[in-house]
Structures are given as structure tokens and as C-alpha cells.
Structure 1
Amino acid sequence: MSVIDLGELRGDVEPDPPPRPPRAVGRPLRVALAGAVALLALASSAPLVRPASAVVDGGLGREVRVAGGRLYVADQEMPGAGGTRGVTAYATPAGAGGALRPLWRTSVPGGEGLFQVLEHGGFVLITGGGGRDGGMVETVALDAATGRHRWRQPGFPVPTIGGGLLLFGGGDDETVDPLRVVDLPSGRPRWSAPMHRGRTVYDHRSAEVDRVVLIPESGRIEVRDAGSGAVVLTSDPGRGGSPGYQGVGLAGELLLVTANNGVDGSRRVTAYGLAALDRRWELDLSPDEYLEECGDLLCVGSREAGLSALDPATRRPRWVNPRWQRFVAARGGRLLVAADDRVAAVELAVLDAATGRTIAELGRWELMPNQGQDEPLFGGRRTREGGLLVAELDPAGAVARWFDVLPDVVEDCYSSGRDLLCRRANGTYGWRRLPR
């Protein structure tokens, strides 16, 4: 594993003092050099350890996903809206180029369209459907050890506290988006709430949803406990539910409601405290600006003005860095940010979250999708020979760690934990587990 040269580190960094001159030369130095040469020879003679890897055959209509350290391979059995897929779960090998070991095989709904796999609480949740012919999006809960079907219901799954599973969408009525929470092991309903052209946002506690915020078309805000469905708070914000209403989001203990304020396409963001749904502050954004949570702060990104940080409690500005426009991730008091090039591969850098100072520039990378906001971040870069250089992007360490050049990868790389899955030039899929 190599480490990319970051070049000059910016900021007021004092250089280390020069080392003291050696007290003696001659035989001690020759002995030290001889030992270093011996260590280098030993290292060069040691076999190169390659990461665990495997190849999955491709084919017409075949799709492959990685979740929970296992591979899931889906083949069309009956195409179309009411069709099915055959899904096989494989255990991954411990060494490079090893064989995949089949664990079980089953049929699931959704002959085409969406194919999503999530492992949670000893279950495999497979969501499919909604292809070109339309049709319902459904989730099937399977026993992770055996593949035995436990239940099947419409909607997209999101785990909640207390062993529940939130299912949203997937209804037959296009004007109503039903929101339901069921018991994960049995699929029995816990609570439900109809949504008429409204918006929903979830407050996470680690990987599970703790609170659900519902804002129907009327604009009335309702906060529910995700486990029981009990209504914790309600409020009628007035302007937050106006006809120009566009979106809703969460940032720490704030609810951010966005509405069109009718001035040159600009938008107004209103912040409410989640504890009492009290109005805290308002902020107007131009059409090219966006606002989102970035670590413990709020970041406003703009192609013209760069990236600025605000105090969530007061909306007061903390800092501005005009070189970068997009927030990517926060780790260890540092922010991974990008230049808004609007292309696949973007210039990345690490900023100090407290001051906005650029700590290191990581170069141009194409970000690889992953399955969770707290998972490792990986990027790819095309080499002159056409291969894909893979690196871990570490904001806390302000470094991009090189792993390997994949010579035959063409597209569609994504990660789950430290597992990387990529589509290869010959139509197959390549899986590898990246070392720490």
C-alpha cells in the first residue's frame, strides 16, 4: 500500500528543528547500513500479499450486490412488472482469486428495475420492482442464514430503533405515499401514517431511525417516535408549509424547511428546534446555493462564492473558503470537500472544520458510492494505461491511501464496508476486500 504525496501542507506550520550532527562515523554507520540492506533484502524476498478477491460471471440481466461481507447474485426468472428474480447468496473467499461458496438460493419479486440488498438484525432485506413497466416496489425479508422467506410487503425499508422496519412508498395510490413501521422478524404492523403529497425525513441514531418528521401538503409538522409511532410534537409553521414548499431536512437538533420565496428563483430556509419545534432563524439562498449539515456545522456551497460554514444555533458565519464549493464528508474534526467541476472525477481537499483552512489537497478522484455515511470513503482515478487506481480517502488523516491499480475495470464501482465491487471490461464483476 502506498500513500499519495500531498505536496505542500498549507497553513502556519512550523518546520521541525534540524537534527543534531552524529557523534561518530565509521564502523557504527557501516553496521547500521548493513542492517538496513539486510532488512530490505528480506522484505523484497517476502511474497506480496494480495487482498481477498473473486470474479463473478456476468450475463444478460444479471446483477450483483455486496452487503454484510457477502455477495448476492440476481438473475431474471420472469421479466416484467410482475416477474421474479432468482437470488443466490455467496460467502466470499479468504484469499485472492478464491472460489465463491453458495449459501442459499431463492426467488424474490421484481423481474426488472430496482434491486437493492440490505442486511440488518440477522435478516436480508431485498427490495425490487418498479421497472419500465411500472409496478409496485416490494421488500422481502429473508433469514440471513438460510434464505427462508419471512414476509413480503410493499415499500422501501429503513431500520428503526426497537427492532422495527420503516417501509415507505410502494403504494398503489399515486397521490398517497403510505408510511408504515412493521416488526422486523414477523412483518406485523406497528403503526402507519398516510402521506398526501407530503415530505418525510428521519432522525438517525447510528444506523437506525429514532424519530420521524412528517410534513403533509398542509404544512403541519408532526414528529413521531419511530419505535411506537407516538406523536411527540406538532406545529403549524405557516410559511414553512406554503405552496412554494420544496424540501425538508435535519441537521443535528434542527429541522430545516425550504420554501420558494418567489424572488428570482431563490429559496428561504427556516430552522426549527426539534425539541420544541420553535422557530430559530431564516436564511435566503440564491438559485445556485445549497445548504446542508457538515459535521457540527452547516455548510453553504456556491459555484461563485465557494464554501462557507455557519453556526447551526445562531446562523452566524464561522468561515469562508472560496477555493472549494461542495461538502463531501466529515471525519475527526475535518471536512472532505470538492471543487464543483460537475464531472465524474473532482478535485478533493481536506479542510479544518473549525477554521476552514485547507490542510491538504488530495488531487482528482471519482468518488465511489457506499452504503452508509459512516463507512470508509474510496475513490478511483484512471491511469494512462486505462486502469483504475483505487485509494481510500481519509479526511481525519488528510491523506489518500493508494491500494492497487485494477487493469480491467470499466464502470459501476461501489463499496460496502471495505468490500469493493466493480464491473469489468469482459462483462464480469470483480470483488475484493480492501485491507485496512
Structure 2
Amino acid sequence: MSSLLRLATAGSVDDGKSTLVGRLLYDTKSVLADQLDAVQRASVDRGLSTPDLSLLVDGLRSEREQGITIDVAYRYFATPRRSFVLADTPGHVQYTRNTVTGASTAQLAVLLVDARNGVVEQTRRHAAVLALLGVPRLVLAVNKIDLLDYDEAGFAVIAKEFAAHAASLGYPEGTVLTVPVSALHGDNVATHSANTPWYSGPTLLDHLETVPVAPDPHDAPFRLPVQYVIRPRTAEYPDYRGYAGQISSGTVRPGDEVVVLPQGSRSTVERVDTHGGPLAEAGAGGSVTVVLADDLDISRGDLIAGVANRPTVTDELGAVLCWLSGTPLRPGARLLVKHGARTVQAIVEELTSRFDEQSLSTVESPDTLELNEIGGVRLRLAEEIPVDDYARSPRTGAFLVIEPKDGDTLAAGMVGDRFSALGEPAA
């Protein structure tokens, strides 16, 4: 069975990201005949002699009319070597929030730049966001290389500049690849181009098919956020009590000692049930129902964890927020924090810093966090919750900040000081 790679794309407006994604879908034969026919008709209507592959991606009417990507769209395609889930994210500065959403689960990100413009402010912004989110690998696709007359020297300047920027963000050697491509003509997307004899690296698709995929965190500490308590109360199962959810990290087996947080009750796993029957072992990503040996008071929002390396139970969070709202964040704001299946009231005690993604420096004690800004905060919670540092366990180290009045999402949060990780080699 082929492996799965989750990737995200990002880039500035008009760098050709939609065309590149369309080219990938087209070259991997992931486009239905009627879809291609519709694109060809639309391209003819626009007076184009060749299909506009970006139309395979920009599906919203407003996106097509403006020629930009607005929302995150997930594309699924496969080759004989690997399956892919691609999060196509917008390029406009005001949609940086969508980049955070699309890249939050990515194992690799493809950043596009226009070969004529090179690395620009939005490129550096996206790279910083990807580093903060812990995306382990980057590809810089230097697109429209044909408009640079396939110039090796111009490509080398861009590659060198981006390599230095990525290194300053903490990306070690071997985790960043730069590829010269023309999404319009297909150069070095799925096949090597005769126009770039000076480039000896892999095509974009070759790299996506062969790049090592980090294994699921089965060897990490066990974490199961409880989504639902199952009590069938039938004649067959009169005393059954199971705790259902998706395993965030680690593995669980019957006989394992666990602790239920935040209350701290301990027990032993008696069964690991699924729709298809009980399992001898279940790992990260698996949806299971855990039955414990003891009758404990457990409800939705609690966390079942391994006894060793348990999460921290706290009512105060030091965290980094990617602020996604047009209303600035100020100290004293009252918010909701959604962590797993638990939502608690919170107050912003302090804005500790604001990150400048261009200079890779922080401004201490800012007055506000504005739309698309990233900063450190200290939150006081109305209840204790069990959390991990984001660097240790992204799934249990991430949370959302919500507006209490209308339920709008205001920010994506990461527990811990992510800024300290920038500039340091990844483990």
C-alpha cells in the first residue's frame, strides 16, 4: 500500500500557484474527462489557445472572476508510488489566516515565487508561519522560469537567498529543496525539462513521491481526548461504559496504565474497541472506544493519557497566537479557549511579544495584536486543562481562541514559546 503525504501550497498573488496545482492534477491524471472539457471550453471563451489549468483549482466564481485563490481547498490525487492530500491556500496577505489552517497538518509545504521577483515579503511571511507551525520540510518552486529565459544564475540567486532564510528559521540542511519550474509549460513539474540542463535535482513530483514522510507519532506519549461516553444500556451490554475518541498520539493496549485528566484518576485499560471489534493495539489517528477497569467519572472534554510523560494540568497558558480577526487583541480581553473537546473561559493577562516575520525578531510587550500578526500571550483560564507543549505534541498542544458572543474563531494557538525554536535546528 502506498504511503500518504499531506502537503500545503503557499505563495504570493500571481505567482502561479493555482496553475501549478492544476498542472500536478493534470500530469498525475487526476482530472475527470468532463472537468477537463469544462476547463478547455472556459479557456477557449477567454481566447486562450491552451487549457488554463488554474481553472481546475479556483472553483469559486469569485476566485475565477478575480483570478485569485480565496479559500483553502483540499485536493486529493495519487500516483503508483504515493497518495496525496494537498491543502491549496491563498496568497493574499489578508488570507494569511487560511494558510495557518491549511498548513496545520502538513508534512511538507510548497512555497511558490515568481522567478522575476524572487523572494518577497509574503514569501518570508509564509515561511515563518510554516516554521512556527512545525512543518518539517519545504520546497521552494521558482515558477515562471521560462519568463526568466531559464536563467541558471537568476535561479541560483533566489535559491541561495531562500536557503539562508530557511536556515535562520531553523530548517536544517536537507529539509529544503529549490526547484525551477514552469507550471504553464510543465517544466520540471512531473518531467525533467530540456530547457534547464543545468538543473540536476528531482522534479517536483519526484520529490513529493520520494521525500521521507515522518511516521505517525506512535512512539509519543499516549493521548486520547474523550469525544463521547458510550453507554448502550442493552441486555447484551448492561454495564458497558466506553470512552470514544481519536488517538492524538502514541499507542494503547489492554493492560496499559492510564490517567484521566484534569481530575487525575488512574485506571487500567481493559479493552480497546472499534466498530470492527476489539484490538490488541491502536495507534495515533485511530478512532477507538477505550473501556477502563474502574468505574470513573469521565465526560466529554477529559483526556485519557499514559501515566508516564503525562500532560501538564494548568489554568494558565503561555502560548503563541496567530491572530485571525480584524478586531485587535488587547490585554484584558475575555475569550473562549477550545482545546480538544473542552471549551473554557479565558482572559488575556498579557501580550508578551509580537513576532516580526521579516526580521525574525520579536517586539516585547506590544499594545495589540492585529489581523495576521503572530505574538506571545499569557492566558488565565477559568478551569484547569491538560496540555502539552506544541513542540512535543502538536495535536494536544494546539487550541483555538473563540469570540464568546458569536462563536467566531479569533486565533489559532500553540502552547509554549515557539519563537525560541526559530533559528535552532529541528530535532
Q: What TM-score bracket applies, with the shorter chain setting the length?
A: under 0.3
Bigger relative CO (Cα 8 Å, ≥ 6 apart): 2
- Greater Rg, structure 1 or structure 2? 1
**TM-score, normalising length from structure 1?**
0.23
Question: As a proportion of its length, which structure holds more helix?
Answer: 2
**TM-score, normalising length from structure 2?**
0.23
Question: As a proportion of its length, which structure holds more strand?
Answer: 1
